[in-house]
Structure 1
Amino acid sequence: MTQPLLAVEDLSVRLPPGADRAHALAGVSLSLAPREILCVVGESGSGKSMLASTVMRLLPPGVAPDGGRLAFRGRDLLALPEAGMRRIRGAEIGMIFQEPMTALNPLRRAGDQIAEMFRIHTRLDARAIRARTLALLAEVRMPDPEAALRAYPHELSGGQRQRVMIAMALALEPALLIADEPTTALDVTTQGRILALIRDIQHRRGMGVLFITHDFGVVAEIADRVAVMRAGRLVEAGPADQVLNRPQDPYTRALIAAVPPLAPRAARAPGGPPILALAGVAKTYRGGGLLPGRARVTHAVRDVSLTLARGTTLGIVGESGSGKSTLARCIVRLLDPDAGTIRLGDTDLAALSRRAMRGQVRRVQMVFQDPFASLNPRRRAGDLVAQGPRLHGMARGAALDRARELFALVGLDPAAMDRFPHEFSGGQRQRIGLARALALEPEVLIADEPVSALDVSVQAQVLALLDSLRDRLGLSMLFITHDLRVAGQICDRIAVMKDGVVVEAGPTAAVFADPQAAYTRALLEAVPGRAWIPGRPQAAAAAG
């Protein structure tokens, strides 16, 4: 029998006193064979990233192994001295981190950061290191390796930064690659390219891959085997086809049931004339040049015309840089459009002065992608929700009473109003942001990627909540997303944006069934695990 590349045996990792549980990992046992991709899946707090950190021996202060064995090529990593572990990191075990912008040094060029792997671990001269670095950038399909070599991280796109991280992880040809949520923050097409790249390199180099994710579409796309974790424990493991299509554990079944299928919902009939109408909206950014006439010009939104029917949801779909969020910010006048009209009922928001716009704020409200960044960390949750009504003249007591009603409406305990944002989970913070937006009883709610950072089960809860609130409160919604599975579940109509232009718009079912634009077809084809239908065992067999 072939020896596993990685064998985790009854591994426990204790947390410091005062944590929400005693152990980050409790009695975890699993194995990874050479040339295999094992996906470890679970929600936030399940312990999957802690498992990756333990394998790399990169645990935070106060967190330490508390029993078990971690054998890599037969050697117990937990028993190695730090000097021995340093020789293994990078050389034999490579790691791709979730957020390359925080993992890469912003003050050093991308090429220098890749080259450092060779300078530290090999005796190659400068010319050979440069050649190897360029070859790696070419291997990870960097569009212009020479330019990327000289670029700083902020000058690269999210997908390009992730390619730099992959190049660094592969530099010394490790036997094991650990990928910790490497595609979570990426657009669907970039995500598809990164997954195909990892699979291709894994085949060519014969690596074992430990792939950490909470996205079952990614699991369906890439996994040979799957391990499901919950609260630090392994609840189920097996071949991908078995776990995805015949799950045994109730928790696994619940997670898979929460995955939205790539199928559109039945559209609602509009409740009258459009509540929001955009005509010829444009926004251009200028900046970045040091000399007159040399400034960088970005046409973020170009001649966009759309309507939102009363009581329905219009989805704005596209990749990063397509102009979705810029368009939303123009509607609420966080940005001033350069051209066009934005009619909310009979009022052209684009023509209003800043002072006049303040009188319209309560009619259109926005929920942001990152609730932690948009909530003041020094203010209590109840005060954050009551702030809008108080600014519009409501007495403090009445505003707090309204906040209590809204907490209950969005599924939060009003007793938690005295807590600060950091004391809530990501899904709970998103509910606070939603309660704050609803506090002024808006006619239109704009939701900018409100579930992209959430686990699949929390995502399903927030989507169901938005649907429910729309019906109960008579809301009209503009829903911005790059996730077509999510768009299919909540949007009656969708508009697809690329490079600031709407390339296709129509009823969601019609666009999904017969996309007219090549770009729309590319987006649909790039959805990870698109052939896998949750709860349908025959789908994986057909795909295979």
Structure 2
Amino acid sequence: MSALLRLDGLTVALPPGADRPHALEGVTLELHPHEVLCVVGESGSGKSMAASAIMRLLPPGVGIEAGRVVFDGQDLTEADDATMRAIRGAGIAMIFQEPMTALNPLRSIGDQIGEMFRIHTALPGSEIEARVLTLLEEVRIPDPRLAARAYPHQLSGGQRQRAMIAMALALDPKVLIADEPTTALDVTTQAQILALIRDLQHRRGTAVLFITHDFGVVAEIADRVAVMQHGRVVEQGPAVQVLEAPQHPYSQALLAAVPPLGAPPPRPIAEEPILVMEGLRKTYRTGGFLGRGARVTQALRGVSLVLPKGATLGIVGESGSGKSTLARCIVRLIQPDGGAVHLAGIDLLGLKRRAMRQATKRIQMVFQDPFGSLNPRRRVGELVAQGPMVHGMPRRVAMARARELFALVGLDPAATDRFPHEFSGGQRQRIGLARALALEPDVLVADEPVSALDVSVQAQVLRLLAELRARLGLSIVFITHDLRVAAQVCDLVAVMKDGEVVEQGPIGRVFTAPAHPYTQALIASVPGAPAARPGALL
């Protein structure tokens, strides 16, 4: 069977001053009809750049230097702009990683999907509206009429991703490019989106180029796999062959970095509690006028948990389960409506501002997005030293402490003079850890600290956390939606759903013999789990 899409020796040049001369170097790939080809690799491997080159949507200063992109017999590298506009959407469609940034926040979902028909067809408005509703039904969005009238912020992350898929499928393209479409989603929503793409691909005969760094996703959906490193394809072949018997050392290293779902042998845990949460409640009211018609969300419904000294307590659950609200209530970034938080016997919620400032030395937070939490205008050494200086440490001593902390988290102490944008995502997360450790806390609250990282970088950060826990005697509240990560780093786990803890206990017991149906559903939804594809990854 001839290839529907083919990359022949594709080389894409980067502008002068980049970290390497080429984003892609001699990339050769084939995508056949009715096939799912997964392209995997870490950030900077060239996966997304390959997708941009196919669509001829390369950033300014980046251009195709050599090779061809052949779609349906036509060389797209020589096609004019009018031809490419006709092909985009109708011949090749794309699903982006973050639908919130890809969707226009000022236009309704139905209007944005309908635009595909208004641009590419002469259909009347009534027919366009009918087709939009049919597409929303096909991607299984509840109440398509309501969803069509909604704006992006009014839909959940999974629903926004489904709307993006509906938009991509509007003109029945021959090729669908999915660029990390499930990275930011919960395991259950992720499983639904993967099943949806597979189902649509089977029914429509679409060829899918699926870009991801998650080998669990690869095990779930791929027919063939191509592994990329530094802009080159280092290995490709049938999915079973690459997953079960990888030949290239880089492929082997990536697979070795995937954390298994099974928990390691239990560590001895102290009986003495360091952090106690009792009956925490938090309700949000949004919208409405003068208190009327407001939307009420009970984010926390009487949450009670105990973190033993020196242990790691995992908080797992889907988006909207209350995990991040709980984290912010613990450190008083959000004031709960009721309940108590005791840190080594001190009631944090009852402290006045000055006393709370002193207490924050003992409990610090690491955020999910290290770039968003670091001031881009300040040097990273100053950001790490800021906390100790606020608490009275002389600047010279605080800066020396910052350099020590850089060494502690595996960064070059000389890098304290650089700015946040000069570091990779994994390095920025290490800076976030250094900043949190600067005040020598007893408790670290880590909110999704590795969710945006590649598997190898993720493995490095998890090892670092384990080392710091052992070396410094840290106690950690670790919030994640990734059950594989929780299994590797946590001693205890609490499963949250709709603001409540539905199950808790030692990680080994909860993950091997879950008692609650919701916990069972979460574990069954992990991509690449044995229930989905026997023998894959676990």
TM-score in terms of structure 1 length: 0.97
Distance 2:200 2:479 in 1: 33
Aligned to 1:148: 147
Match of 1:298 in 2: 297
Contact kept in structure 2, 1:267 and 1:493, CA below 8 Å: no
Equivalent residues in 2 for 1:230-269 (5 A)?
A: 230-269=229-268
Would you say the 8 A contact 1:308–1:478 is kept in 2? yes
User: Which residue does 2:4 correspond to in 1?
Assistant: 5
1:41 aligns with 40
Alpha-carbon distance in structure 1 between the residues aligned to 2:292 and 2:10? 61
Deviations 1:320-347 (A, max 9, x none): 1110011111110111111111111110
SS at structure 2 position matched to 1:35: coil
SS in structure 2 at match of 1:90: helix
Summarize deviations over 1:127-147 as a string: whole Å, max 9, x none: 111110000000000011010
Give distance in 2, aligned partners of 1:479 and 1:123.
Answer: 53
AA paired with 1:230? Q
CA contact (8 A) 1:265 1:492 kept: no
2:464 is the alignment partner of 1:465: yes
1:539 counterpart letter in structure 2:
G
1:90-126 per-residue CA deviation (whole Å, 9 max, x = no partner) reads 0011100111011001100000000010111111111
**Corresponding residue number in structure 2 for 1:84:** 83
CA distance in 2, matches of 1:284, 1:446: 21
Deviations 1:450-474 (A, max 9, x none): 0000000000000000000000000
Secondary structure at the aligned position of 1:13 is classed as strand
Residue number in structure 2 paired with 1:539: 535
Read off the aligned partner of 1:358 and give its amino acid letter. Answer: R
- Cα gap change, 1:218 to 1:311, in 2 (>3 Å): same
In structure 1, how many angstroms separate the alpha carbons of the residues matched to 2:70 and 2:441? 57
**Cα distance per residue 1:16-44 (max 9 Å; x no partner):** 11111111000000101100000000000
SS at match of 1:62: coil
Cα distance in 1 between the residues matched to 2:516 and 2:178: 33
Show the counterpart of 2:370: 371
Offset of residue 266 of structure 1:
2.1
Unaligned runs of 5+ in 1: none
Q: Which residue number in structure 2 is paired with residue 185 of structure 1? A: 184
Match of 2:200 in 1: 201
Pair 1:509 & 2:505 matched = no
Q: Distance in 2 between matches of 1:133 and 1:15?
A: 39
Q: Write the distance in 2 (CA, Å) between the matches of 1:429 and 1:328.
A: 21
Letter in 2 for 1:331: I
> Aligned runs of 1:265-276 on 2, under 5 Å?
265-276=264-275
Q: 1:83 to 1:428 in 2, by over 3 A?
A: same
The answer to whether the 8 A contact 1:13-1:65 is kept is yes
Question: What percentage of aligned pairs have identical amino acids?
Answer: 70
Please state if 1:341 is matched with 2:328.
no
Q: How does 1:60-71 map to 2 (within 5 A)?
A: 60-71=59-70
Give the C-alpha shift of residue 356 in structure 1. 2.0
Match of 1:121 in 2: 120
Q: How does 1:48-63 map to 2 (within 5 A)?
A: 48-63=47-62
SS at match of 2:378: coil
Contact 1:3 1:73 in 2 (8 A): no
* Cα distance in 1 between the residues matched to 2:430 and 2:53: 33
The match for 1:431 is 430
- Verify the 8 A CA contact 2:524 2:531 in the aligned structure 1: no
**Alpha-carbon separation, structure 2, partners of 1:540 and 1:285:** 41
1:483 pairs with 2:479:
no
Contact kept? 2:35, 2:206, Cα under 8 Å: yes
SS at match of 1:301: strand
Q: Aligned to 1:333, what secondary structure does the other structure show?
A: coil
Q: Tell me, yes or no, if the aligned pair for 2:528 and 2:536 is still in contact at 8 Å.
A: no
Task: Give the equivalent residue in structure 2 for 1:446.
Answer: 445
Which residue of 2 is the match for residue 492 of structure 1?
491
Q: Return 265-274 or 209-218, whichever deviates more.
A: 265-274
SS in 2 for 1:371: coil
Q: Which moved more, 1:281-290 or 1:448-457?
A: 281-290
Residue 296 of structure 1 deviates from its aligned partner by: 1.6
Contact 1:301/1:323 (CA < 8 Å) preserved in 2?
yes
Q: What CA distance in whole angstroms lies between the structure 2 residues aligned with 1:196 and 1:28?
A: 29
Cα deviation, 1:330-372, whole Å, max 9, x if unaligned, reads 1101111111111111101111123321110000000000000
Task: State the Cα deviation string for residues 482-512 of structure 1 (Å, max 9, x = none).
Answer: 0000000000010000110000001001001
Q: What's 1:321 paired with?
A: 320
Question: Any idea what SS the aligned residue of 2:526 has?
Answer: coil
AA aligned to 1:367 is: V
CA distance in structure 2 between the partners assigned to 1:538 and 1:498 by the alignment:
28
DSSP-derived class of the 1:17 partner: coil
**Deviation at residue 532 of structure 1 after TM alignment:** 8.8
In 1, distance between residues paired with 2:534 and 2:490? Answer: 27
Q: 1:417 Cα deviation (Å)?
A: 0.5
Displacement over 4 Å in runs of 4+: none
Q: Contact conserved, 1:109 with 1:152, CA < 8 A, in 2?
A: yes
Q: What amino acid is the match of 1:215?
A: D
Alignment of 1:271-290 (within 5 A): 271-290=270-289
- Give 1:271 shift: 2.5
State whether residues 220 and 532 of structure 1, in contact with CA within 8 Å, keep that contact through their aligned partners in structure 2: no
Asked whether the equivalents of residues 48 and 179 of structure 2 are also in contact (C-alpha less than 8 Å), the reply is yes
What is the letter of the counterpart of residue 425 of structure 1? Answer: S
Distance in 1 of aligned mates of 2:127 and 2:316: 44
Counterpart-to-counterpart distance in 2, 1:359 and 1:461: 32
**1:85 Cα offset (Å):** 1.0
Corresponding residue number in structure 1 for 2:17:
18
Partner of residue 226, structure 2: 227
What residue identity is the alignment partner of 1:299?
Answer: Q
Letter in 1 for 2:458: Q
Would the alpha carbon gap of residues 295 and 538 (structure 1) be closer, same or farther in structure 2, given more than 3 Å must change?
closer
Give the paired residue count: 538
Aligned residue number for residue 362 of structure 1: 361
Distance 1:219 1:532 in 2: 15
Contact 1:35/1:207, CA 8 A, preserved across alignment:
yes
What per-residue deviation string (whole Å, max 9, x for no partner) do you get for residues 139-196 of structure 1? 0000110100100001111011101100000000000000000001111111100000
Task: Find the aligned partners of 2:40 and 2:61 in 1 and give their Cα distance.
Answer: 25
CA deviation profile, 1:56-89 (whole Å, cap 9, x unmatched): 1111111110011111111111111111111111
Q: TM-score when scaled to structure 2?
A: 0.99
The structural deviation recorded for 1:298 is: 1.1
Q: Confirm or deny: 8 A CA contact 2:152 2:160 kept in the other structure.
A: yes
- Mean Cα deviation higher: 271-280 or 56-65: 271-280
Q: Is contact 2:493-2:505 (8 Å) kept?
A: yes
Q: CA deviation at 1:272?
A: 3.8
**Contact 2:363–2:444 (8 Å) recurs in 1:** yes
Deviations 1:252-293 (A, max 9, x none): 000000000111122222224100111111111122112433
Asked whether the equivalents of residues 303 and 501 of structure 1 are also in contact (C-alpha less than 8 Å), the reply is yes
Q: How far off its partner does 1:538 sit?
A: 7.8
Larger mean CA deviation between 6-15 and 264-273 belongs to 264-273
2:372 counterpart SS class: helix
The alignment status of 1:412 with 2:408, answered yes or no, reads: no
1:350-396 C-alpha deviation (Å, 9 max, x unpaired): 11123321110000000000000000111101111111111111111
